[in-house]
Structure 1
């Protein structure tokens, strides 16, 4: 009896040892539930796993020890036992496994699962199940491993803002929303250029202007990058204009750019005119259809950091005409100028015509004087002749001379004057 009791006791101990030794190990177990394994959509994640099967079982009916051998391994999704109709993602006995799920383990103690091209449907709890050549060797660990899928990664900084002074330090952590990517290789970029540093944390110390830029992070061989994190090391801004000088005419346009040794297109820039904040923000200030109201001293700087204000840029727009009718007044001036020129031309023409008319009148008066003088000569000659020949003859000749040589207002033709002279000569010799 004592012998049989001893055998029974040893059998119970072996069974208990085997049962207690049957387990599955997932990464980082905490309170029987592991931390979630995070992954970005489209990336590849690993679910590290190991298991310990039973070595043997005692068959009470046959009174023999049975060696246990694992003949089937299964990974299921969102099922507590991975049994019967549970949704399998991998089954060692199936030939239709989804190629996105790759089993990297064996049937002896390794059960790691690789998930590639991560999708939203993979945001679930995965469990491993082993089946042996004896049903008492089947086992499913119900704790499982939680997988979280995020659309995009995010950078978290050890400082709330992105403004730093020279010589300071900062640590950037690449995370995936609700969890940290600790088991995957992370690549860092500044302004789109890959950095030599890798890993979920990027440490930057003794900051200078060369560290300025827009930082992004992403998983290696994955095109999905985080939202950019803008880091700026304090430096005075400068304003560059699209025009060399600051003198402008009404209606023209100009663009002012707030620049520094850093790339600041992701930082919020504030603009000022004569010390008063403008509603426009951003590294470029576009001013179109300029008026005198746009004149002033412009400065720019980073929001809530007056130490970065730029040197003032003086912009001057020619003053508006009184009454706002500068353009109309110019037209009126032009019309008046043209009219004055026309008036001057007309006046010159009139004066010229008057001078010509005066010249003609003087010529006519001269001719009339000569004619009158000739008539007087004719009259005197005839009178003398009449006195010599007699009264009757004188009267007759004087009457004739009076008829022939009566002075007229209009100038006589030269030919008539000459004829008269000839006639007078004949009369005197007769």
Structure 2
């Protein structure tokens, strides 16, 4: 710069209104504050946990300066020298500078965590005294995870919407993926963050989680509990084979319902017990009959089909009835009837004294004679035992004229 030029400038300054000294010096050195700049695009980033973030950046600096250092920093504190993140152990393996020492200052940060949510800045250090500059508008990085928002309980037939929520709107366009019990619902891929289940069924119960296509992060699973009335109600008998008097028998009522149903037991039309298990110890013939269980919860009730308990037992209550009444006279017809309670039905034998005289429930004597007088009894027998009746006496009267 020549002496004449400096003289003209001094004369102009003397004639012009007073200006700040710093501005005057900048004019002399040909430097403007606008020569320093850092531009971030975008300035706000919402990124998914464990994803990779690219913070795009361009910068300018005054001519005549040479870049000695160009690096990214975070949350600079007044009076402290901003740290170079590439030298920070928390970042050094994840941070990759993609820029240059001319105008590109883009950086890539991989495997971001929730702790990476900060304001990030680009900083330049040149070879001139006080030739440093920080782009103070910065990039705000918010790292979010995913959470499923779902009602805890729904009733079968309801329509339900599950939402995959993040703490901020993801910067990258997101396609959401849904999982039930860790299995992908491949038919449910959508660009919005909602999963609509129309007319839910019990099969829709399970643990739901969500993710963003192309990312490894999956939300924690949330249980969806579908309530429904009892169904598939049935009774199982143990033991399943022949039941003999004196055995122990268990009836088990199975029922599919949510919430679990209360169970009651009915024999005929009478309630005889409650609970999923109905136990009869030392069963008797009186316990024979039809049983069913009723399953009930707040959403409805259902009965099982009837099951029959057919108790096997040996003969009992064996007795003989004589048809007719009064005096038996020679020539009359007399019928003896053997009464017996048993299961299965018993075979009947007839004895006069100790002699076998016939079989079958009915023993008939036509034109009875005095020779038929005596004590009669019947024997009732089945595979489970036998029993004799008490003896009855036939006292046959004869005509005096004989």
Shorter-chain TM-score: which interval?
Answer: 0.3 to 0.5
Bigger strand fraction? 2
After TM superposition, the score normalised by the length of structure 1 is 0.45
Larger radius of gyration: 1
After TM superposition, the score normalised by the length of structure 2 is 0.48
